[in-house]
Amino acid sequence: MNYFQYIGNELFAEQVPIQEIASQVGTPAYIYSYQTLKRHFTAHDSAFGNIDHLTCFAVKANSNLAILELLGKLGAGADIVSGGELFRALKAGISPKKIVFAGVGKTQQEMEYALESEILMFNVESWQELEVLNEVAGKCGKVAPVALRVNPDISSETHPYITTGLKESKFGIDIHSALESYKKARSLKNINTIGTHVHIGSQITKVSPFVDSLERISGLIQKLRQEDIPIRYFDIGGGLGITYKDEAPPSPQEFFKALSPTLQGMDLSIISEPGRVIVGNAGALITKVLYVKKKEEKNFLIVDAGMNDIMRPSLYKAYHELLPVFIEKRQNILADIVGPICESGDFLARDRELQELFSGELIATMSAGAYGFTMSSNYNSRPRVPEVLVKGDKFRIIRERETYEDLIRGEIIPNF
């Protein structure tokens, strides 16, 4: 069931007309479907079957506290990449023993925070980071639980900005030197190496890159056991894609069926880090047409959402389906849908065919639940937009629209 759907000629989120939400909270606004979030998480988590596992939601995809709490109550842990994301996960009630900390640039302060919080483990990405973590753990009187992130040199066949598993990537330790890194880690008295981590990219729509990377890492795990380096966790990362336009990614069941021959015999606890696949199609950004501009060369629909509200089209030239909130019997037009930001790169879509629309009418930017609000900014001094959660026939604001006063909070004019 699709929880964003037309009833008659009007677009609904679950049982609530989107027009009703927009009339109360204004536009632009992010809208999320509770039932879609629940369905997607349950499908992913249950696909593991009887394999010992932990599903850690990738907080970078959508970090709203209400979303994190919802997923936490369904059993999710958290995959974090900053101290701020750790703070959010803990505030949302997620157990620190279900939190893994990734990222190439952890600061000493973030390491201390995570150690004091007693998270499950750090996914360490370089030898120097491991040495620093050892020092920080010693100062804190702690032993840091660690998985080394291993770069398998696998192409994920996705956008180059979100490919992370090639040898030229900044992420992870090269697979050819990983065994020596594990051996050296044994000499660090404040480090307890308990796992292996791999993550090859995002928005991957084929199973084969995942299978290839897991097979390479499983070979490393066998060598670790031969060297009497026991590990308990295999963090297989995330990155499974969703349908934005015409992609046909595997279902969670198909995905884990392909992985299970490798995972079944490992006798390890498996950690996965889904993000986009849980929240991507659970959210939409609602925007309003401000002006219709017809030029000899091109038509423009100027809307009130800009690249500061949703960065993906400008950053990746990413496709998001644009749906009129009301379907009318009108001719289709070819137009650029552009925002109010003073940048030529500010667009939601270029040369898009859609129903002719007029000033004041609403458009839903679909598949915006992941990397939508979390990548937003105050560029052009624009307040960030509200977030709304819909459940059945009810909706609640889960983040208020920022005000102009919010824009300058924390700024100080010096007396000189």
- The residue among 326, 366, 324, 322 whose CA lies nearest residue 9 is 326
Distance of alpha carbon 324 from alpha carbon 203, whole angstroms: 26
Q: Of 1, 7, 248, 342, which is the active-site residue?
A: 342
* Tokens read off for 209: 């890159």
Query: Strand, coil or helix: what is 185?
Result: helix
Task: State how far the Cα of 9 lies from the Cα of 3, in Å rounded to an integer.
Answer: 15
DSSP bridge partners of 20: none
Peptide bond into 28 cis (omega under 30): yes
Q: Please confirm, yes or no, whether 56 is among the known catalytic residues.
A: no
**Tokens 């009630």 -> residue:** 93
Contact assessment for residue 334 and residue 353, using Cβ atoms and an 8 Å cutoff: yes
- Alpha carbon distance 311, 274 (integer Å): 21
Which value, to the nearest 10 degrees, does the dihedral of the CA atoms of residues 288, 289, 291, 296 take?
150
What residues pair up with 148 in beta bridges, in sequence order? 124, 196
Q: How far is CA 301 from CA 19, 108, 340, 398, in A?
A: 19, 47, 11, 29
The span from the CA of 161 to the CA of 171, in Å, is 12
Q: How far apart (Å, rounded) are the C-alpha atoms in residues 149 and 122?
A: 9
Active site residues per annotation: 342
